[in-house]
Each structure stands twice: as structure tokens, then as C-alpha cells.
Copies of this chain bind each other. A is one copy, B any other.
Amino acid sequence: MNNKNQITSQEEFFMNIAIEEAQMGDFPFGSVIEKNGKILSKGHNLGIKLNDPTAHAEMMAIRNYTAHYPAENLMDATIYSTGEPCPMCAAALIWCGIGHIVYASSIEELSSHINQIMISCDTVLDSANFRKTKITGGVLKNEAIRLFKK
């Protein structure tokens, strides 16, 4: 995983948009999928409104995209998520061929707010024998944690 001093201003730019998106969520999680500087889709948690426990921000960003455009375009895109993706979202992003996952706060950092732990995103990504996905954590993590205090 990259450490904080490798975080780029582009990563902060798109994470800020993910943080805006999170504020519309049933739980304060938001995601933005970007490629070549262009936003392909956004998503926020709709677990309650859609009555669907799998409607995490990352899954909604994927669904919002694949509902209209070829999934192939997601290959080598980057996703910005306000929280570390759970194993469902991490593996979904692998299946979509996303090249880079950038998140704000880790599951561990959010554990006082969401006491629901599963294996780390890193573990899921490392286990995939058919695709290598880059991961960067900690981009605007304090801002993302603050969403839980509102």
C-alpha cells in the first residue's frame, strides 16, 4: 500500500467528490469511478432505501455504470471510496478489472462507528491469481471519518 506522502492532488480531488457523494448515503459511504481524469460513475450507500444489504457505495457505482455502458470501459479505471472496500466490493472491483482502488479511512479506523469487520481489502486483492490491483489508503481519511460524527 502507498503511504500518505505518495498521495497525489488528483487523488484528493476525486476523493473530495466521493465525500460529497457519501453525504447522500443511507450510511456515509461514497464512491467515484474515474478514468483519464473523467468521472465514469458515482455511487452512495442505498442499503435502506433499496432494501438491499449489498447496495454499498462501490456496488452502486458499478451498477450505475454497467446499467448504461460496456463494463469493459471499467478496465484500468480508478475507484475512490470513502471507506476501505469490504470483501464483496473488493472482489466486485477485481471482476470489473478496476486497476486502482483509492480509499480514505480503513475498516479498522472506522471500527468504533461500524463494528462489522471482515478480512481486509488487501487480502482479497492479493489472493487474486488473474489480476493485480493497486491500492492506496488514507487519502483524506480524517474528512471521511468526520462524516460519521455528523
Contact = CB atoms under 8 A, between A and B. Distances in A.
A79 to B, nearest CB: 13
B54 A92 contact: yes
Contacts of A116: 128-130
Size category of the binding interface on chain A: 20 to 34
Contacts of A124: 87, 118-119
Interface stretch (A23-31, A93-101, A140-148): A93-101
A124 B88 CA distance: 9
A96 B124 CA distance: 20
Interface of A: 50-54, 59, 62-63, 66, 70-71, 86-92, 94-97, 115-119, 123-124, 127-130
